Structure 1
């Protein structure tokens, strides 16, 4: 009779990575990071509306960021128990904080490019999780 131990090890080696992937797939996006991205999209949309130099290198955020912003607001209301009247002040404060960070940054352009890249990837993930009507 052949020992089953090597077969069990081989089976575990195949199954464990799948379990890890499944666990990773259901890990929710950090709400603070999502809110930051929503605020950053709003800032970029405003800069695009003003035709600020450099803002054209990003997708039109007034359109593309809108659903992400709405989903983030709904999530804040649900998970943080924020009332609808608290959403605008929450984002206004966050936008002000981000604008100050960028104003104080010695390399704001590079930082914005990096952060927008991260946020655009997050946007795709959030959009994929939103049920289609």
Structure 2
């Protein structure tokens, strides 16, 4: 297993405005950004990589806060372990450039994601 297996790996913060988020976190904390379209920007320099997402397709600003994404060397094995432990899959596995991921609810109802890299 890699050293990233089952470790916090990436955090997405819901955003009403990616531009406002970049301004705030850039000015306050000195983070830098990589834009991936008009509604998404990755942030760097926060200690863990992450992004701001204003799509609201699967996360939206909410008092609960951020969307945590874990890494897995084997997405299917991790998904099965989550189900076996009482978690509920909320978004089935889907692909995106460079990887695949799914979302789940833990027993308390918190939603997290798990992703794996797909080398192209």
What TM-score do you get using the length of structure 1 for normalisation?
0.28
Structure showing the higher helix proportion among its residues: 1
TM-score w.r.t. structure 2 length?
Answer: 0.30
